[in-house]
Amino acid sequence: MENIIEVSNLNKTFKNEQALQAVNFTVKQGEIFGFLGPSGSGKTTTIKILTGQLNPTSGRAAVFKEDIRQLKKPNNRKKFGVLTDNSGLYARLSIEDNLKLYSELYDCSLKRINEVLQIVQLNEDKKKRVSDLSKGMRQRVTLARAILHEPTLLFLDEPTSALDPVTREHIHRGLKLLNEKGTTIFLTTHDMEEADLLCDRIAFLHKGEIKELDSPKSLKRKFAENKMTIQLKNGQTVVIDNEKKDAKRLYDYMEKEEIVTIHSNEPTIGDIFMNVTGREL
């Protein structure tokens, strides 16, 4: 697959603060790429650079094979969608009227409005004014606006923050469907389960530097302890090495039918996050 995003030796400095340091990564067309890190690690700064809102101090970033400075061209702007804290919604208008305005800007069918409202579960609320909505509902309207034109590339900065678990799961299904139709997704999130569930690859950003980058499966394998935890019927918990030397011990437990459960001591994405960044979730 071709790269839809290419970042090479990217640096960004604000006054005397180094926000990004020699950042390198690519995002392949059609994947969901997770960009994880503690607050203040440089995630939002990266998105602002990749969407043409900020210029890097040095280094190179290209989207759609073009330098990010070309993203302001009308034909390029229609290719991507963005969800950030800066919602860009008109508070005095209804949800539906907000989306009608953006439908005209993106030159897409009004039928698409009901489709995206279904994804974010707001069909029954579409006549409500944005000023009357909760923070979580505004977040969902902003997401609906970002996916309205079925962009080639979608940037999502904490898309499910402030949402309840049921709505979050519904939006996950919508994002997967959008991705299956061909949209590449660049996702930042504090929800480690969300990253594990959705992402093909994950980058861990800490103090402006990428510390790890790989698929969730490969990262778990890399940070695994190579041990197994066995719960026995007598209530005892036994930890053994997942190696040949402990195979007979495991076989003996199985032969005597003493085992209740066996778990590989595979780390979660949250465990790896804390290992890499030294920070609590």
Query: Is-contact 153 4, C-beta < 8 A?
Result: yes
Q: For residue 199, what pLDDT band results from cuts at 50, 70 and 90? A: very high
Q: For residue 205, what pLDDT band results from cuts at 50, 70 and 90? A: very high
pLDDT at 98: 96
pLDDT at residue 105 is higher than 80: yes
Query: Is-contact 221 212, C-beta < 8 A?
Result: no
Q: For residue 96, what pLDDT band results from cuts at 50, 70 and 90? A: very high
3-class DSSP state of 107? coil
Give the mean model confidence (pLDDT) for residues 118-128. 93
Q: Rounded to whole angstroms, how far apart are CA atoms 145 and 157?
A: 14
Domain map of the chain by residue range?
A: 3-220, 225-265
- Per-residue pLDDT tens for 11-65? 999 988 999 999 999 999 999 999 998 888 999 999 999 998 899 999 999 999 9
Give the mean model confidence (pLDDT) for residues 76-89. 80
Please state which of the ranges 23-37, 155-169, 188-202, 210-224 shows the lowest mean pLDDT.
155-169
pLDDT at 1: 77
Fold designation for 3-220 = Rossmann fold (3.40.50)
The answer for 278, left when phi > 0, alpha when psi is -120 to 50, beta otherwise, is: left
Q: Which of 4, 132, 10 is nearest to 60 (CA)?
A: 10
pLDDT at 279: 65
Q: Rounded to whole angstroms, how far apart are CA atoms 241 and 229?
A: 9
Give the mean model confidence (pLDDT) for residues 239-256. 84
Q: Within the chain, how many helices (H) and strands (E) appear?
A: 10, 13
Q: For residue 85, what pLDDT band results from cuts at 50, 70 and 90? A: low
Q: Rounded to whole angstroms, how far apart are CA atoms 191 and 235?
A: 33
Q: Which two tokens stand for residue 71?
A: 């993203």
Q: Rounded to whole angstroms, how far apart are CA atoms 251 and 255?
A: 6
Tokens 């919508």 label which residue? Answer: 174
Which of 187-221 are b and which e, b meaning 16 or more Cβ less than 10 Å from the residue's Cβ? bbbbbbebbbebbbbbbbbbebbbbbbeebeebbe
Query: Is-contact 22 11, C-beta < 8 A?
Result: yes
pLDDT at 86: 58
pLDDT at 264: 76
Task: Output the pTM of the full model.
Answer: 0.85
pLDDT at 35: 96
Q: What residues pair up with 7 in beta bridges, in sequence order?
A: 25, 61
CA distances from 245 to 173, 232, 242 (A): 44, 20, 8
3-class DSSP state of 262? strand
Got the DSSP string for 192-261?
Answer: HHHHHHH-SEEEEEETTEEEEEE-HHHHHHHH---EEEEEETTS-EEEEESSGGGHHHHHHHHHTT-EEE
Phi, psi of 148 (to 5 degrees): -55, -45
| Helical packing angle, 135-147 and 111-119, nearest 10° | 130
State the average pLDDT for the chain: 90
pLDDT at residue 281 is higher than 60: no
Query: Is-contact 67 45, C-beta < 8 A?
Result: no
Q: For residue 240, what pLDDT band results from cuts at 50, 70 and 90? A: confident
Q: Which two tokens stand for residue 39?
A: 């607050």
